[in-house]
């Protein structure tokens, strides 16, 4: 089960810098994760899609838009998604 989603160490933060946000989460006993980020809550177009073995990742794509809310989610294997959001400055 995935819990405690954070961006730059905060839960659902407002005012995240638009360059290189750091995503982290807690996952007891899990070892493979998929992370997605989107500019809209339906995740029709992913801004980031990443598979990782770490319970964290750093966004290194194009700069995000200032003052915009982004949505992100993570899951282990093919399990259920755990979702959160953040707003950039």
Q: What pLDDT shows up at residue 18?
A: 87
Are 55 and 26 spatial neighbours (Cβ–Cβ below 8 Å)? yes
d(CA 62, CA 51): 18
Average pLDDT, the chain: 95
For the stretch 26-44, what's the b/e string if a residue is b when 16 or more beta carbons lie within 10 angstroms of its beta carbon? ebeebeebbbbbbeeeebe
Q: What is the pLDDT of residues 48-89, one digit of tens each?
A: 999 999 999 999 998 899 999 999 999 999 899 999 999 999
Distance from C-alpha of 85 to C-alpha of 81, rounded to nearest angstrom: 13
Global pTM value? 0.94
End-to-end alpha carbon distance in the chain: 31
């Amino acid at each position: 089960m995935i819990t405690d989603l954070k961006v730059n160490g905060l839960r659902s933060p407002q005012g995240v810098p638009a360059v290189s946000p750091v995503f982290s989460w807690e996952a007891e006993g899990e070892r493979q994760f998929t992370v997605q980020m989107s500019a809209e809550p339906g995740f029709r177009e992913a801004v980031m899609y990443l598979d990782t073995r770490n319970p964290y990742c750093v966004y290194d794509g194009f700069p995000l838009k200032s003052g915009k809310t982004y949505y992100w989610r993570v899951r282990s294997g093919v399990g259920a998604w755990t979702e959160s959001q953040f707003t950039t400055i």
